[in-house]
Structure 1
Amino acid sequence: MKFNDLARKAAKGSGPLSYGGSVHPEDLIRFSLAYGAVGADEIERLCEQHGWHEDGLLEDGTRVVPLARWAAACVAYGRGGVASLQHLLTDRTLATVAIAVLEEVRTESCVTALLDYCMSTTAVSDEPDDPFWRALGALNALTSFDDGLAPPEDQQEKLRDLVIETFASATTSHQLTLCLCALRGAPIEGSLEWAEAQTVTAPDVLRAKVAAIKSLRRRLSGSYKPPSAEQKRQIRRQRALDV
């Protein structure tokens, strides 16, 4: 995206420009990643100029993208990096968008921030949109696939322990499934044995258990070789085509 493209997208659209024009959250994230602090200034300027909404539900019942929240997270990253996003995790109104940006930044420090967050908080609801479950889902997305990050062993140990503790108190199939999926990002001693020992009955949870065991066995085998950077790009492209 060229620098002026964001302003152009913000200035056109079928609805009021306060709805964001043709700007989507993904545009703000990409812009922040590309332009850093200068991009943050531009995002902040456009947010103020067009009056992007903080709340996704307006007084008349209209639902809009709360683009001002996305702008706040992207401005924070552009100016202060992952550390600033980590600070936003303490605000429940901004936590989910901060988590989404961390997932797109895709660095080892993002894994650290998400792990620290999950280990210092608890879910306040069973809804998948609860920040805790969103953060665990982001950890799954960042570390569980062959094209994902490979955090150091101490981080994998934290992830394994987090999964085991969370699984023990999980109350829904979605939560149990998410735990088993996230465990794939911790192919270390104890993970495979624990997964094999779990008794599950719900079909979707059973599928997640089988997939986790298969992934862990493969990654723990002596013949496993992590994909190269080019292979990771190919895997990512193929996944995008499959969606």
Structure 2
Amino acid sequence: MLETNFWIIFLTGLLGGGHCMGMCGGIITALTLNLPAGQRRWLILLSYNIGRIGSYVLVGVLLGGLAGAGLSLLTARPAQLALLVLANLMLIAMGLYLAGLSSAITALEKLGRPAWARLQPLLARLLPIRSPRTALLAGMLWGWLPCGLVYSASLSALASGKATQGGLLMLAFGLGTLPNLLLMGVFADTLRQWLQQKPVRLLAGLLVAGMGLTRLALLATAH
């Protein structure tokens, strides 16, 4: 079940490329602005993504650890199951959003805006990006951007009830988002046009929603 969760979270990040394009396209453009093609461009992109994924892992460790402490004070299994159900319902909602069938998940993103308002000025000071170190710091900050896709994965980390598993789940999610965001820095316009095609969005979104339904079915058969 745990390995299945890792793969599903990884695929959620991978299939959420259209959403990543909208959320991270601006920073990717800033990262690569006026940079020549070649090794330096790739190094800056990798540094940014290492910082971003590092923030996701930190979120997973914190949420998994906090949930583990909280669950120890409650009837652990029912509470954990409730969190897992909620995580998968959010995954379904995220899939419907990616498919262009519902915008309900965007209401959740508003919850993180006050914290992001404090971090955004720090990010602005780092622009324009001129070194891998600055790109790493920018990625660490950008990892806290309010994002329904990240929140969906974070709930799975919370439901894991363990710091290690929470961190690994968010690592799987971050690695899933990596191919799209790396390619975005090199083929931004072409990739944007492809990901925004309605059939591509619909297919990716329905696959994400289907994974949420699959996890719910696995939970139902296991209990």
Length-normalised TM-score, structure 1 = 0.23
**Structure whose CA Rg is larger:** 1
Q: Could you tell me the TM-score, scaled by structure 2's length?
A: 0.24
